[in-house]
Amino acid sequence: MPLPRQILFICHPTGKHPPAQGLRPTAPSSHPHILGVIVNKLVVGNLVHRPLRSFISAFAVGIEVIMILSIAAVMLGMLNGAKTRQGGIGMDMIAHPGAASNLIGQTSASASVKVADVLRALPHVQVAAPVYVKLVASTSVENIYGIDFESFNALKPFVFLSGGPYQNEYDIIVDDFVEAKGYHVGSKIKVLGHDFIVCGVVEHGKGGRKYIPIKTMGDIDNNPGKASLFYLKTENQPQYQEAVRKELLATDGLQDWDVQTLKELLDSITPETYPGFNIALRIVVGIASIIGFMVIFQSMYTAVMERTREIGILKSMGASKIYIVSGILRETGLLATLGILFGILATYILRAVLHYKIPTLDFALTARWVGIAILIAFTGALLGALYPALKAARKDPIDALSYE
């Protein structure tokens, strides 16, 4: 491919080829400024004169960033949302049968609700609330809470925005996020395959988003009189919580139960405690990185092949291998930077759209993961361009100049 006119002008004041005596390599140190200008013009010129390829390359890097940030934000948002809602229940401790999982909503209800009376009798226990939690997957994955209203409300009172407590067996309390989907007091809503009437709308952040009577939950699940776990409110001193733990584990029939303080529960809600969480996150990040690497590799390899004669002229002027490699990597760095900026901006726009469309979705876009995405995308792009850059640097100037 012929050298652009602006580069020819820099090579020779007349804008024409040098005299016929041939091109003699010049020491790089004699024209460092000219070579630097030429390399910079080649970098910008290649991007400008091949806009489609430049756009596709930057877009691919942007998609890589979007994939990494959005998947990490959704998955980490699930954990952060679970922590926030558990912390908003108002309990100080949680107790459940030892065979049950610590993951809220992953358990079957195997304990009698009458255990609540035993727990209330323990020293320093002020409230014991039995809860039947059922994980359902219909239009979305969510936990439905079956609660004893009086004890659950005693942990931390509901803030009713409209309506009030249950009046009938198939009444349901929903939070304001569910109300935003069009459900108000008096609306009919289908839960667990049954029709419920919304009796109250409360502020979000207290465990779940939908609450039905625990008796109704047991009847629907053909498991009457049972609970998944018990939330305890204790006297507000750490030593009292340890005393409650010891008393509970010393009670007949409860020796194998799991007992956690609120802090212990929140500390346990981490990626490591969710099966496959880190594996899934690494797979997505790996796929995104491979996409960015391959696109940049293909783009820069093609660019090097197209600019064989240009590279030959640069080397005949005395451009060292470092000059050639740095030029290719600078072009890649510029593409990667544009792609990263686009990816970050697009992810923030995506977060705003998702927040508007799906207000219940927790999208945890953190500065740490933005930094990780930038590092992965930029490093992957430079690695993708490294082989084409080295290939260009190894070209023989005579062979390059005779290349058609």
> Per residue, what are the HEC states of 253-274?
CCCCCEEEEHHHHHHHCCHHHC
Query: Lowest-confidence range among 84-98, 153-167, 289-303, 344-358?
Result: 289-303
User: Is residue 243 within 8 Å of residue 123, measured between CB atoms?
Assistant: yes
Pairwise CA distance, residues 178 & 290, whole Å:
39
User: Is residue 55 within 8 Å of residue 345, measured between CB atoms?
Assistant: no
Indicate whether 12 pLDDT > 50. no
Label residue 401 by pLDDT band (50, 70, 90).
Answer: low
Q: What is the pLDDT of residue 58?
A: 86
At 183, is the secondary structure helix, strand, or coil? coil
H-helix or E-strand spanning residue 363: none
Task: Write down the mean pLDDT value for the chain.
Answer: 80
pLDDT tens-digit series, residues 389-398: 777 777 666 6
Pairwise CA distance, residues 208 & 53, whole Å:
49
Q: Rounded to two decimals, what is the model's pTM?
A: 0.67
User: Is residue 400 within 8 Å of residue 306, measured between CB atoms?
Assistant: no
Pairwise CA distance, residues 157 & 172, whole Å:
16
Indicate whether 27 pLDDT > 60. no
What the block records as the tokens of 184 is: 């108000």
Indicate whether 261 pLDDT > 60. yes
Indicate whether 197 pLDDT > 90. yes
* Average pLDDT of the residues in 270-294: 80
User: Is residue 74 within 8 Å of residue 361, measured between CB atoms?
Assistant: yes
Break the chain into its structural domains and give their ranges: 5-78+277-401, 98-256
pLDDT tens-digit series, residues 287-318: 888 888 888 888 777 777 766 666 676 666 67
Indicate whether 83 pLDDT > 60. yes
Pairwise CA distance, residues 380 & 172, whole Å:
51
Greatest pairwise CA separation for the chain in angstroms = 105
Q: What is the pLDDT of residue 47?
A: 64
pLDDT tens-digit series, residues 93-116: 999 987 554 444 445 678 999 999
Indicate whether 2 pLDDT > 70. no
Q: What is the DSSP letter of 358?
A: -
What the block records as the tokens of 362 is: 């927790």
Q: What is the pLDDT of residue 102?
A: 46
Q: What is the pLDDT of residue 28?
A: 44
What the block records as the tokens of 151 is: 């004890």
- The sign of the CA dihedral 292, 295, 296, 297 is positive
**Cβ neighbour number for residue 392 with a 10 Å cutoff:** 25
Pairwise CA distance, residues 303 & 332, whole Å:
11
